[in-house]
Amino acid sequence: MNKIFIIILFLPMMVLADVAPNKKHEVAYLLDYIVRSGCVLTRNGTQYKGKDAAEHIQTKYDYYRRDINNTEDFIKYAATKSTMSGKYYTVKCNGQKESKTKDWLLRELEVYRMKRRF
């Protein structure tokens, strides 16, 4: 009886939101895209190359996983702006204007989805 009570009591905390299993490939793709892009992400005035930027975004993804329901939420919570300062992350790629990381990743997600349709 006590075991059932404990399970019922903690069940809501055990149910975590996350990107749907059939869409996790999108998150994995975007993290890999950051690593291999050759672009530099700026977070709170400090520049980070691909691998370091992706590791930070992965850490935020792990932290906010309960609030994330889809790939767009992943971008919103993990790759948009600093939780501490509220400043937007930006990205600068060779030959392109600096842009918000959120916009950059949303564009790439759209490209990725288009490629997978065909």
Region of residue 90 (left: phi > 0; alpha: psi -120 to 50; beta: else): beta
Q: Does residue 4 fall inside a structural domain?
A: no
Distance, CA of 115 to CA of 53 (rounded, Å): 25
Q: Does residue 5 fall inside a structural domain?
A: no
Q: Does residue 7 fall inside a structural domain?
A: no
Q: Does residue 99 fall inside a structural domain?
A: yes
Distance, CA of 99 to CA of 91 (rounded, Å): 6
Q: Read off the pLDDT of residues 57-105 as tens digits, 9 standing for 90 and up.
A: 999 999 999 999 999 999 999 999 999 999 999 999 999 999 999 999 9
Structural domain of 37: 18-117
For the CA atoms of 92, 98, 102, 107, the dihedral, rounded to the nearest 10 degrees, stands at -90
Report pTM: 0.83
Q: Does residue 23 fall inside a structural domain?
A: yes
Tally of domains in the chain: 1
Q: Does residue 2 fall inside a structural domain?
A: no
Residue at token pair 């992706």: 54
